[in-house]
Amino acid sequence: MSPNLDPPYIARCAVLAMALEVSGTPKPGNIDRDHDYVDTKYEDFIAAAIGVFPVMEKACTGGGIGELILEASDECVKWQSGGNTHFGAYILLFPLIKAAMSGTDHLKENAIDIVRDTTVNDAVDFYKAFSKVAVRMKDSEDLDVRDDSSLEELRERGLTMYDIMEISSKNDMVAKEWVNGFARCFKAGRSILEKRKTGSLNDATVLTYLELLAEEPDTFIVKKYDLEKAHYTQRLAIDVMDRRMTLNELSNRLYMEKINPGSTADIIIAGLFIALLSGLKV
Amino acid sequence: MSPNLDPPYIARCAVLAMALEVSGTPKPGNIDRDHDYVDTKYEDFIAAAIGVFPVMEKACTGGGIGELILEASDECVKWQSGGNTHFGAYILLFPLIKAAMSGTDHLKENAIDIVRDTTVNDAVDFYKAFSKVAVRMKDSEDLDVRDDSSLEELRERGLTMYDIMEISSKNDMVAKEWVNGFARCFKAGRSILEKRKTGSLNDATVLTYLELLAEEPDTFIVKKYDLEKAHYTQRLAIDVMDRRMTLNELSNRLYMEKINPGSTADIIIAGLFIALLSGLKV
């Protein structure tokens, strides 16, 4: 284990990953340093990232994944007025933070073990946190998260948080990361590190985001609109990759059409965190 | 004492103040979210702000002011490649952080007591930290900070850090804050809170910065160039206040002429910190 990988170090990497992700511009469709939404602004994301520092530090040494997501969600909204800005990111960051406490050599394997070890209590806490953000999204198809009866049902069926993520994985690319061994998070991390060798940190972030967008339809867009809109966004990203459209044109189009690929941004946060742990230079 | 004013809370306010200051745009002449320098970029300031979190937390319960500035300076450059981005801000933040541990009711009085209680050891540590950034600035007129003999001289003359700041106060607006009871820091804090009532956080930050710039010649500009250039910058800021020039015109002019009012930015950081402690909403 690197002497640096202590809780205060790991927590700062997690906070910095959130701050760098939202700073990366233009990150078509999502909030960045030059793009606000009506109800959420860039500074909300920055304050939210800094505000959850103690929860990130606590995650290194204790707390269940569900409990940590619930705590971070509560803390997040105390620091700014843009809502629960990082809910999807927490789902990825907390297992990775815990895994980082055993060093970076087996980060992926350790994160896989950690999510598989989640409990029914994690699932219950996760749903409590999710129910607070659910008003902003369509319902989960699998469980109604807005009433206590669904929490009872969770307990009766003995579903762990891992089970919930497995059920959700076909409709949610963040949940899918729990099932596929954080494959796209690590891929994003490698891509950011590789691109940083020859380019700026901002370009490494933005270009990796674009690659992810071109690779798979963003499931946040599917939930907010439908699969067709997500495929449309993916095709536009491919157009930029193939130089049939500029990044700024894509950016303007997605902002005008209010299409925000939020889950892809969550993967970028996890990728930046992995890259920072692996020596990414700011 | 508000239950919130514990070390993790105060430290987050300090980190957030640094992040919000550098995000405020356009902040003519200084690095902001849309303006980098050749050797320092926006992300360097964000990483530097987040990187010093543990030193900010430590300051709440221990460590001399000089020692904390030295530690923060060392930590700061580990997280990014743009140099000691916040040296002037540390001089203001650490006394205010320590004062905040006794609540916000007598923040100003407590900060005054804290700087008056600084020691010769604080002065020695401060100069050790300053010697590392001094290559970027002209020498102090009063003490050559680059060799050990000046540290010996400090000890022989029995100069405390407060004494040093008093000597420097005629040429350095940050040092002057120690002598004048942090007058402009608190004024900036009140201005930011007041402007936030009717405007955005960004506008509150930028307009307060402009007011400070129009009020006094920035001593960082004096050190980098001369008093004439600082007065020239002040006159331009007055022109913007009086609507003879736009903020963007001022911004473009200062960036082109490489005039960065760095000490005014330090005051803004302290003002944002005071405002956050006093309930500023992000």
My answer on whether B157 and B209 are in the same domain is: no
Show Cβ contacts of residue A35 under 8 Å, excluding neighbours closer than 6 positions: A25, A26, A27, A42, A251, A255
Q: Which of B258, B250, B193 is nearest to B39 (CA)?
A: B258
Assigned domain for B118 exists: yes
Q: What is the pLDDT of residue B3?
A: 46
Assigned domain for B193 exists: no
Assigned domain for B282 exists: no
Q: Which residues of B touch A (CB under 8 A)?
A: 8, 11-12, 15-16, 19-20, 23, 33-34, 41-44, 46-47, 50-51, 53-54, 79-81, 200-202, 281-282
The CA distance from A109 to A96, in Å, is 10
In total, how many domains does chain A have?
Answer: 1
My answer on whether B255 and B130 are in the same domain is: no
Q: What is the pLDDT of residue B150?
A: 81
Q: What is the pLDDT of residue A132?
A: 81
Q: How many helices (H) and strands (E) does chain A have?
A: 16, 0
* Contact (CB<8Å) A51/B12: yes
Report the CATH number that the domain containing residue B173 is assigned in CATH.
1.10.4200.10
My answer on whether B53 and B167 are in the same domain is: yes
Q: Which of A26, A86, A42, A22 is nearest to A206 (CA)?
A: A26
The CA distance from A84 to B199, in Å, is 23
My answer on whether B128 and B249 are in the same domain is: no
What sign has the CA pseudo-torsion B150, B155, B159, B160? Answer: positive
My answer on whether B113 and B130 are in the same domain is: yes
The CA distance from A119 to A98, in Å, is 15
Assigned domain for A246 exists: yes
Q: Which amino acid, A241?
A: M
Q: What is the pLDDT of residue B142?
A: 52
Assigned domain for A282 exists: no
My answer on whether B83 and B162 are in the same domain is: yes
Q: Which of A193, A202, A88 is nearest to B46 (CA)?
A: A202
**Residues in chain B, pLDDT under 50:** 1, 3, 135-139
For residue A171, the tally of other CB atoms under 10 A from its CB is 15
Domain encompassing residue B232: 199-262
My answer on whether B40 and B175 are in the same domain is: yes
How far away is chain A from the Cα of B274, in angstroms, using its nearest Cα?
15
The mean pLDDT of A206-232, rounded to a whole number, is 97
Distance from the Cα of residue B3 to its chain's centroid = 27
Assign A131 a pLDDT band (cuts: 50, 70, 90): confident
Residue of B nearest to A282 (CA): B80
Assigned domain for B22 exists: yes
* Contact (CB<8Å) A42/B23: yes
Q: Which residues of A touch B (CB under 8 A)?
A: 8, 11-12, 15-16, 19-20, 23, 33-34, 41-44, 46-47, 50-51, 53-54, 79-81, 200-202, 281-282
How far away is chain B from the Cα of A82, in angstroms, using its nearest Cα?
9
Identify which has the larger pLDDT, A52 or B134. Answer: A52
Question: In chain A, pLDDT over 90 holds for what percent of residues?
Answer: 90
CA atoms within 13 A on the CB side of A221: 24
Let me know: does A112 contact A165? Beta carbons within 8 Å.
Answer: no
Paired tokens of A61: 């040494």
In chain A, residues with a C-beta closer than 8 Å to the C-beta of B4 are none
* Contact (CB<8Å) B281/A81: yes
How far away is chain B from the Cα of A36, in angstroms, using its nearest Cα?
12
Let me know: does B226 contact B1? Beta carbons within 8 Å.
Answer: no
Query: First-to-last CA distance in chain B?
Result: 22
Assigned domain for A157 exists: yes
Q: What is the ipTM of this complex?
A: 0.94
The CA distance from B53 to B76, in Å, is 10
Assigned domain for B109 exists: yes
The mean pLDDT of A262-268, rounded to a whole number, is 98
Q: How many helices (H) and strands (E) does chain B have?
A: 16, 0
Query: Is pLDDT above 70 for A240?
Result: yes
My answer on whether B140 and B111 are in the same domain is: yes
My answer on whether B174 and B219 are in the same domain is: no
Let me know: does B258 contact B173? Beta carbons within 8 Å.
Answer: no
Distance from the Cα of residue B126 to its chain's centroid = 15
My answer on whether B111 and B178 are in the same domain is: yes
Query: Is pLDDT above 50 for A139?
Result: no
Q: Which of A119, A8, A103 is nearest to A58 (CA)?
A: A8
* Contact (CB<8Å) A53/B53: yes
Query: Is pLDDT above 60 for A3?
Result: no
The answer to whether the bond into A54 is cis (omega within 30° of 0) is: no
The string of pLDDT tens digits covering residues A141-181 is 555 555 677 888 889 999 999 999 999 999 999 999 999 99
The string of pLDDT tens digits covering residues A61-75 is 999 999 999 999 999
